[in-house]
Structure 1
Amino acid sequence: MAICVEPTHKGNERLCKVVDRMNSDIEIRTLWRASNITAIDRLGYNDHGPTHIRIVTKTALKMLDLLIEAGMQPSVVKDYKLTEQDAEVIVVLAAALHDIGHAVHRDKHEEYSISMAPQIIRRLLEGIYDEEKAAIMMAEILHAIIAHREDVLPLTLEAGVVRVADALDMEKGRARIPFQAGKVNIHSVSALAIDKVRVKKGTERPILVEIEMSNSAGIFQIDELLRDKVEKSGIRDKITIVVHVPKEEKRIIERLEL
């Protein structure tokens, strides 16, 4: 499954070149597949491969766009005098490579990701950036990758965006695999209660996240999983999260036997 560059980003030639290279890179595609072998086939978790990557990449870019539109400077612009287009490249590559460590193991996968990513990043950036800028891009991408780990605080706008986008991949289809495999617990049931996640331009804050639920069990996803990611993202004050729960809730399970 290829990552697509949205029409609004077609003018970013560096991003388009990087994405074209990434979509044709056999190693990357294989690592995405291997990540799903670990997550789905061996552990019974949800998707951490191409579908997850496509969703996180699209969401992260949209959030970055909204923050820039609101007047915020990406960290690579503020600190290194690079461009907003370079920030887009950082966000896309960090989103695309943040979970490749699952190919090794779920435990400490973030650390495996940052050890496996450098050779891939160098290959994707070769000829697009000079040596100095490539080194800066490498550092910023690796920071955004490791900062999606629960106990690592993002120090850049780009890393914060990737961290939140990763957590927002929570619609019900994400839990269908473990649920159908027999994992009936608060994690799978609450995930099945999330019908839709939308990222929009906000009014009081730059980013509005609307979450539609079919059942109140979805509150677990918000309170236990999403809240911490957002609170420790560095961009908490730029995001409004609104949760909609219907008056008549949908029953997710009929019977549970222990």
Structure 2
Amino acid sequence: MAFEVPVQGNDILSTILERANSDEELKALWKASNINAIDRLGFSDHGSTHVRIVARNALKMLRLLMEAGHQPGVVRNYGLTKEDAEVVVVLASAMHDIGLSVHREDHDEFSIMLSPPILRRLLKGLYEEPTLTYMIAETQHAMISHHEGFVPYTIEGGVVRVADALDMEKGRARIPFASGSINIHSVSALAIDKVRVGKGHERPIQIDILMNNSAGIFQVDELLKEKIARSGLRDLITVEVKVPEAESGIVKGLRL
């Protein structure tokens, strides 16, 4: 499946998407990341499907924040455009996990090491120096911001951080669950039917999480909550969780 997001008239972003979808190195890194994540570690997908979900949610949140008057870092600090901020967010989403192709441990730092030649290739001819280097630096900042050890300085980094945690609908947990990884991570992820990002009423961003079982609270309280708290966007996001009165059964039992 192609790496696609709604470009909404952003011609540079459209060109970058075309280049990304034909870049053999980037596609190979997505596949290699999944070899480690799925085949060797029994985790959920961290390749092309994951980055597409992250990119779409991150871009949607960025646009909602800009619509509400919040300035991206590339606009505030470098005098670039909102469209350039969209490029940063999409590229960071595309590459934040490519370091998993090397190893799970410190994969965020491996992603930073692997990304410069790919970024320069994707951005070639679209930006001149020094703007090209600014764009690469801002993209790498947003990439590293998804990791728990790094607090984002920009809303670009903040939305990538939060979007990474929003990839938790139940279909995303089927691979580790089916392979026998029955634990709170896989069970709680199976409890989440839908994640929706939209325009909020009191805050710019509204995240609705629809669950079929209260086990999904773990995903929100232990994972998403921390991501939002350290995103720099805490006061700009509302999260609403809906759990049905009649819960569905996920596991019938467990033998230890």
1:128 aligned partner: 126
User: Are residues 1:4 and 2:24 paired?
Assistant: no
Q: In the alignment, which of 113, 117, 127 is matched to residue 119 of structure 1?
A: 117
Using the alignment, how far apart are the partners of 1:227 and 1:239 within structure 2?
Answer: 11
AA at the equivalent of 1:3: F
Supply the AA of the counterpart residue of 1:148. Answer: H
| Equivalent pair of 2:5/2:55 in contact (CA under 8 Å) | no
Q: How does 1:1-258 map to 2 (within 5 A)?
A: 1-6=1-6, 9-258=7-256
Give 1:238 deviation, angstroms.
Answer: 0.5
Letter in 1 for 2:116: P
The question of whether the paired residues in 1 share the 8 Å contact of 2:5 and 2:52 is answered with no
Q: Distance in 2 between matches of 1:10 and 1:223?
A: 34
Give 1:12 deviation, angstroms: 1.0
Q: Distance in 1 between matches of 2:172 and 2:100?
A: 17
Q: CA deviation at 1:149?
A: 0.7
Amino acid at match of 1:17: T
Over aligned residue pairs, what C-alpha RMSD do you find? 0.7
Number of corresponding residues: 256
Does the 8 A contact of 1:10 with 1:16 survive in 2? no
Per-residue CA deviations over 1:55-101 (Å, capped at 9, x if unaligned) read 00111110011001111111110011000000000000000000000
Q: Quick one: which amino acid aligns to residue 12 of structure 2?
A: R
Residue type at the aligned position of 1:13: D
Whole-Å Cα distance in 2 between the matches of residues 184 and 3 of structure 1? 30
Any conservation in 1 of the 2:61–2:159 contact (CA below 8 Å)? yes
Shift of 1:10: 3.8
> Deviations 1:167-189 (Å, cap 9, x if unpaired)?
10010011111100001111110
Q: Tell me if structure 1 keeps the 8 A contact 2:158–2:233.
A: yes
Deviation at 1:5, TM superposition (A): 3.6
Runs of 4+ displaced beyond 2 Å: none
Q: 1:11, CA displacement in angstroms?
A: 1.5
Counterparts of 1:176 and 1:203 in 2: how far apart (Å)? 34
Counterpart secondary structure, 1:131: coil
CA distance in 1, matches of 2:5, 2:213: 34
In structure 2, relative to structure 1, the CA distance for the partners of 1:75 and 1:220 (3 Å cut) is: same
Superposed displacement of residue 128, structure 1: 0.5
Query: What is the CA-CA distance between 1:231 and the residue it aligns to?
Result: 0.3
Question: 1:3: how far off?
Answer: 1.6
In structure 1, distance between residues paired with 2:38 and 2:153 = 31
Q: Is 1:205–1:240's contact at 8 Å kept on the other side of the alignment?
A: yes
Give the TM-score, by structure 2 length. Answer: 0.99
- Identify unmatched segments of 5+ residues in structure 1: none
Structure 1 stretch displaced more, 108-117 or 11-20:
11-20
- Displacement of 1:255 after TM fit? 1.2
Distance 1:45 1:3 in 2: 21
Question: What is the percent sequence identity of the aligned residues?
Answer: 61
CA distance in 1, matches of 2:88, 2:197: 20
Structure 2 spans left out of the alignment, 5+ residues: none
- TM-score where L is the length of structure 1: 0.98
